[in-house]
Chain A
Amino acid sequence: MIYPLRSLIILFFLALISISCEPASEGQGERVRKKVFRYNQAGGISSLDPAFARNQANIWAISQIYNGLFQFGKGLNPDPVIADSWSISDDQLVYEIDIRRNIFFQDNPCFEEGVGREVTAHDVVYSFKRLVSDDLKSPGAWVFTNIAKKDKNGKLASDWISARGDFRVIIRLDAPYGALLERLAMPFAYIVAHEAVEYYGDDFRKNPVGSGPFVFEVWDENAALVLLKNNNYWKKDDRGRSLPYIDAIQVSFISDRMQEFRTFKKGEIDMMSGVSTDWVDIVLNKAGEVRKEIAGQFTVLKTPYMNTEYIGFQLDPKQYDNPNHPFLDQNFRSALNYAVNKDELVAFLFNNVGEAGVNGFVPPYLYSQVVEPVKGIAFDREMAANLLEKSVYNGEKIQLYTTQFSKALVEFLQKQWANIGVEVEIINNSVSIHQQLVDEGKALFFRGSWLGDFPDPETYLSFFYGSNIKFSGPNKTHYRSGEFDDLYKKAKKEGDTFTRFDMYREMDQMVTDESAVIVLFYDEVVRLLQPNIVGMDPNPMNLIQLEKVDIIPGKLRSDS
């Protein structure tokens, strides 16, 4: 009777031997010469199709494989990539964009004889029409649908985008729009090849074919994503060397941020991005400087990130049974706003990663080149007490909706509000439920964050635009003001940047003065790099471009 057990044991070891006999260790020496850049993506990647570049994880990988007409580089303005030159008509409705010659798609079986062909204007037309098509249902369709030329029925006109010859693209707009190039630089608008989309069908998401610096090699959704150098990449550096410098990218999917950090410390990944309250104390002291113990061990990059963290109020009286609810009273909202010590919040909770929210809803640096930022609401407890006195608030307990991920933050706020005598109960929900409660306007007082889609104040102020109130539209607070909407429409059509930014500033001041939301802080990104990594430029969109990144051999690199 011992036989079943014995055979089970034998079987198990046979199986183990058989799987461990797969070709494993070829060329340990090769590893030293090959330059592999490794980073981790804790939440995994859901698609490599640019039309589904809806989160940072997807965007990072997609940006290495594809090119857009424009792309965001170091600064806030998009750089031309596939686009060569462009002109805008006098009425600012027609954009003619010439595209560069001699950019080729990566070699792939979907092309004739497996050789990538030249990128033409027709590919641009195809990619953009694909993005907005009803069949695809891309979460990025809005990039064009709300600005491109419409026909009589309010649908996109058939000639909103067209090609003239093989290398000129013409985009027609419904009304002048100042930030089109920024929209074109979004990963949603990267250029795909119709051959690849047709060849791979539903599986195009895991068989990307672009014209970018890296070629897709393999993606095991549980283990890793591997991209290899595109040997035929068209870009060269200033000295005429062909890009990229590194041979491969390896993306791992370790879900636990602490484990990720330990892997990084061991030198097994090259970059870590984003602050996690778990490890920020290990890296930065309370003043936000790199700790002495680890100074010199890694490179620390800190840069503003286009993300505004806020607490929102539901402002639509229809959502309330009581027409005199304190949330509808500007004095009460301002009292809560003045009561929060935002400097202390950033210093205490995030080791000064981030900037206190004492300006408007739009992060101040977005204005910095053009106009003065908005003057916002800074901590003033006396003012808060006075406003509270004047408000309709009569001591009832109020409820703040949030998710578990903001626990430390909302508990900090709870104490700040208790100091002026407002008792706040915290209601925790899962991310999906929280989102739905906010979308439906049922969460009357809620935690949120708004991530700029591109570096322009418009993307922030669309948050307060009246037409965006519809169910689950961007206007989460259901803020409504005729004056604001008029300005918003006018600003969108304004061609002159100074005038446009002035209008945005005015709108921003309007919502700030009304305390439509409590701006907590503007995010910053902290990136840790191994010291042998060079050429990584931080970027306010928190994008990474690895084409110019290099790995200097010899410098601390534990495994090679």
Chain B
Amino acid sequence: MIGRFIISKLRHALFVLIGVGMMVFFLFHALPGDPVAMMAGQRTDVSTRSEMSKELGLEATLLVQFGKYMNDLSPLGLHAASEKSKYEYFPLLKFNSEYVLALKWPYLRRSFQNNRKVSDIIKESLTATLWLVLAAMMFAALIGITLGIIAALYSGTLIDKALIAISTLGISIPSFVSAVLMAMIFGYYLSDITGLNHTGQLYTLDPIKGKQLTLKNIILPAITLGLRPLSIITQLTRSSMLEVLTTQYIRTARAKGLTNFQVLIKHALPNALNPVLTASSGWLAGLMTGAFFVEYIFDWKGFGFMTIRAVQNLDFPLVMGATLALAVIFIIINITVDILYGILDPRIRKSQ
């Protein structure tokens, strides 16, 4: 039963992916701008340009191009026998001396701009973004829960009202505004005091010392990205804490003679955190995409930064690869959540 449910979900996912691929492919080709112009020099002659264009497969009709792209993407594809090293495929069926039906990892091609494998670029930039998102979530959870508890404990006082006001501001401020503000204030005007840069990577390469972790560079972008989840977590924690604190078992705990701190940490907090956890686990994917502006402003060379640059350069394989990767991330998260709900609630399974 649950198996069939999962299969139907996966089938949906496949259609979504094909749909996304098709949309992006045709949208991208509807855009003005010539990728070859972005690769050639000012004096590159016409024959070289048309050779480049041929190499990129831009000479064929759109439908043929799309078919070829889908063939490259599909794990089961028809490939020239001579292209084994390019696709790293596993041959299944030989048609003639030229073509084989083969099994492979989806091949995302190479970047127009620098000829790197798109899959490598995506892997690398996703890792950078993942660290940023994790750091942001950590920051948001730790500070947000603490502030939420404080607000709940002092509910109705000036502290509580101030915290609510500030966190409401935090929720409503768009990330590109907060990113610019943070970068300018702490990374620029106050950089002598904070010692922080407004741009920088997680790793720096030094000719003598080699690759070095530079943790301070993640601080500002992580805080900026974490501001909105922080505000939401603060308010969620506050309200659920307030609710829990009125329950009977808290009164019992107090009656037992436990200190305020013990009541709070051992009894109230675990229950109060339930809704917070449920909500925040769902934001991970949202944060990955919310990181676009933050990465661009802080020059953090993650997934968002890479994608924006690829669009600027008309780097078609990279734009396609990035969009598909993003779609896959969302699909995986959604399917996991659906399956979990399905396991927990049989009604959902049956309705499918």
B352 at interface, CB cutoff 8 A: no
A102 at interface, CB cutoff 8 A: no
A31 at interface, CB cutoff 8 A: yes
Whether A2 lies near B208 (C-beta < 8 A) is no
Restricting to B238-295, which residues have a CB under 8 Å from any CB of A?
269-271, 273-274, 277
Whether A472 lies near B197 (C-beta < 8 A) is no
Restricting to B121-178, which residues have a CB under 8 Å from any CB of A?
124-125, 128, 134-135, 138, 141-142
The 9 listed contacts between A and B (C-beta, < 8 Å) are: A5-B277, A8-B138, A16-B215, A22-B213, A31-B209, A205-B115, A250-B206, A436-B37, A439-B37
Whether A47 lies near B43 (C-beta < 8 A) is no
Interface window among A134-142, A363-371, A490-498:
A134-142
Residue of B nearest to A217 (CB): B207
Within 8 Å by CB of B204, from A25, A205, A224, A436, lies A224
CB distance from A250 to the nearest CB of B (A): 5
Whether A439 lies near B205 (C-beta < 8 A) is no
Interface window among B46-54, B59-67, B99-107, B341-349:
B46-54
Whether A27 lies near B211 (C-beta < 8 A) is no
Interface window among A115-123, A255-263, A314-322, A379-387:
A255-263
Kindly list chain B residues whose C-beta atoms are within 8 Å of the C-beta of A90: none
Whether A12 lies near B138 (C-beta < 8 A) is yes
Kindly list chain B residues whose C-beta atoms are within 8 Å of the C-beta of A27: 208-209
Whether B209 lies near A256 (C-beta < 8 A) is no
CB distance from B86 to the nearest CB of A (A): 9
CB contact under 8 A between A1 and B270, given known A142-B45, A262-B191, A435-B37 = yes
Whether A2 lies near B273 (C-beta < 8 A) is yes
Whether B138 lies near A471 (C-beta < 8 A) is no
Whether A1 lies near B274 (C-beta < 8 A) is yes
B3 at interface, CB cutoff 8 A: no
Whether A248 lies near B207 (C-beta < 8 A) is yes
Kindly list chain B residues whose C-beta atoms are within 8 Å of the C-beta of A394: none
Residue of B nearest to A222 (CB): B301
Q: Point out which of B142, B191, B199 has the most chain A C-beta atoms below 10 A from its C-beta.
A: B199
B110 at interface, CB cutoff 8 A: yes
Kindly list chain B residues whose C-beta atoms are within 8 Å of the C-beta of A22: 211-213
Within 8 Å by CB of B201, from A36, A47, A223, A471, lies A223
Whether A223 lies near B299 (C-beta < 8 A) is no
Bound-complex Cα distance A11 to B261 (A): 26
Bound-complex Cα distance A471 to B44 (A): 11
Chain B, residues 190-228, CB within 8 Å of chain A (1/0): the string is 010000011111011111111111010000000000000
CB distance from A273 to the nearest CB of B (A): 19
CB distance from A355 to the nearest CB of B (A): 21
Whether B116 lies near A221 (C-beta < 8 A) is yes
Q: Point out which of B43, B312, B314 has the most chain A C-beta atoms below 10 A from its C-beta.
A: B43
Bound-complex Cα distance A445 to B205 (A): 45
Whether B208 lies near A223 (C-beta < 8 A) is no
A473 at interface, CB cutoff 8 A: yes
Residue of B nearest to A202 (CB): B115
B83 at interface, CB cutoff 8 A: no
B114 at interface, CB cutoff 8 A: yes
CB contact under 8 A between A223 and B204, given known A9-B138, A430-B312 = yes
Q: Point out which of A134, A137, A262, A430 has the most chain B C-beta atoms below 10 A from its C-beta.
A: A137
Kindly list chain A residues whose C-beta atoms are within 8 Å of the C-beta of B42: 450-451, 474
B19 at interface, CB cutoff 8 A: no
B88 at interface, CB cutoff 8 A: no
CB distance from B130 to the nearest CB of A (A): 10
Whether B299 lies near A259 (C-beta < 8 A) is yes
CB distance from A322 to the nearest CB of B (A): 24
Whether A1 lies near B277 (C-beta < 8 A) is yes
CB contact under 8 A between A226 and B34, given known A22-B213, A262-B191 = no
Whether B270 lies near A431 (C-beta < 8 A) is no
Bound-complex Cα distance A474 to B212 (A): 45
Bound-complex Cα distance A430 to B32 (A): 10
Whether B55 lies near A256 (C-beta < 8 A) is no
Kindly list chain A residues whose C-beta atoms are within 8 Å of the C-beta of B209: 24-27, 31
Whether B45 lies near A5 (C-beta < 8 A) is no
CB distance from A384 to the nearest CB of B (A): 30
Residue of A nearest to B134 (CB): A12
Residue of B nearest to A33 (CB): B208
B33 at interface, CB cutoff 8 A: yes
Within 8 Å by CB of B208, from A34, A142, A218, A258, lies A34
Report the number of A-B residue pairs with Cβ-Cβ less than 8 Å.
Answer: 173
Tally A residues with Cβ within 8 Å of B. 76
B39 at interface, CB cutoff 8 A: yes
Whether A255 lies near B134 (C-beta < 8 A) is no
Bound-complex Cα distance A19 to B130 (A): 14
Whether A36 lies near B208 (C-beta < 8 A) is yes
Bound-complex Cα distance A16 to B125 (A): 18
B231 at interface, CB cutoff 8 A: no
B40 at interface, CB cutoff 8 A: yes
Bound-complex Cα distance A205 to B110 (A): 13
B16 at interface, CB cutoff 8 A: no
Chain A, residues 108-126, CB within 8 Å of chain B (1/0): the string is 0000000000000000000
CB contact under 8 A between A205 and B114, given known A142-B45, A436-B37 = yes
CB distance from B329 to the nearest CB of A (A): 19
Restricting to A20-61, which residues have a CB under 8 Å from any CB of B?
20, 22-27, 30-31, 34, 36, 46-47, 54-55
A324 at interface, CB cutoff 8 A: no
Whether B312 lies near A431 (C-beta < 8 A) is yes
Whether A472 lies near B34 (C-beta < 8 A) is yes
A303 at interface, CB cutoff 8 A: no
CB distance from A432 to the nearest CB of B (A): 4
A96 at interface, CB cutoff 8 A: no
Q: Point out which of B39, B211, B312 has the most chain A C-beta atoms below 10 A from its C-beta.
A: B211
Kindly list chain A residues whose C-beta atoms are within 8 Å of the C-beta of B204: 223-224
Within 8 Å by CB of A19, from B197, B213, B301, lies B213
Q: Point out which of A54, A218, A223 has the most chain B C-beta atoms below 10 A from its C-beta.
A: A223
B113 at interface, CB cutoff 8 A: yes
Residue of B nearest to A225 (CB): B205
CB contact under 8 A between A145 and B47, given known A23-B210, A436-B37 = yes
Q: Point out which of B210, B215, B312 has the most chain A C-beta atoms below 10 A from its C-beta.
A: B210
Chain A, residues 218-238, CB within 8 Å of chain B (1/0): the string is 101111111010000000000
Within 8 Å by CB of A47, from B37, B114, B215, B313, lies B114
Whether A34 lies near B207 (C-beta < 8 A) is yes
Whether A432 lies near B37 (C-beta < 8 A) is yes
Whether B207 lies near A473 (C-beta < 8 A) is no
A254 at interface, CB cutoff 8 A: yes
Ranked nearest first, the 7 interchain pairs of A and B with the lowest CB-CB distance are A248-B207, A224-B205, A432-B33, A222-B301, A46-B114, A54-B41, A139-B44
Whether B203 lies near A30 (C-beta < 8 A) is no
Kindly list chain A residues whose C-beta atoms are within 8 Å of the C-beta of B191: 262
Chain A, residues 175-207, CB within 8 Å of chain B (1/0): the string is 000000000000000000000000000100110
Kindly list chain B residues whose C-beta atoms are within 8 Å of the C-beta of A432: 33-34, 37-38, 312-314
A-B contacts besides A137-B48, A259-B198, 6 pairs, CB < 8 Å: A4-B277, A54-B41, A223-B211, A256-B198, A430-B33, A472-B46
Whether B51 lies near A5 (C-beta < 8 A) is no
CB distance from A473 to the nearest CB of B (A): 6
CB distance from B183 to the nearest CB of A (A): 9
Bound-complex Cα distance A340 to B6 (A): 70
Within 8 Å by CB of A1, from B37, B116, B271, B314, lies B271
A470 at interface, CB cutoff 8 A: yes
Whether A137 lies near B213 (C-beta < 8 A) is no
Bound-complex Cα distance A5 to B124 (A): 27
A453 at interface, CB cutoff 8 A: yes
Residue of A nearest to B40 (CB): A139
A433 at interface, CB cutoff 8 A: yes
Residue of A nearest to B142 (CB): A9
A146 at interface, CB cutoff 8 A: yes
Bound-complex Cα distance A146 to B47 (A): 11
Bound-complex Cα distance A93 to B115 (A): 37
Within 8 Å by CB of B41, from A24, A139, A145, A146, lies A139
Bound-complex Cα distance A225 to B52 (A): 27
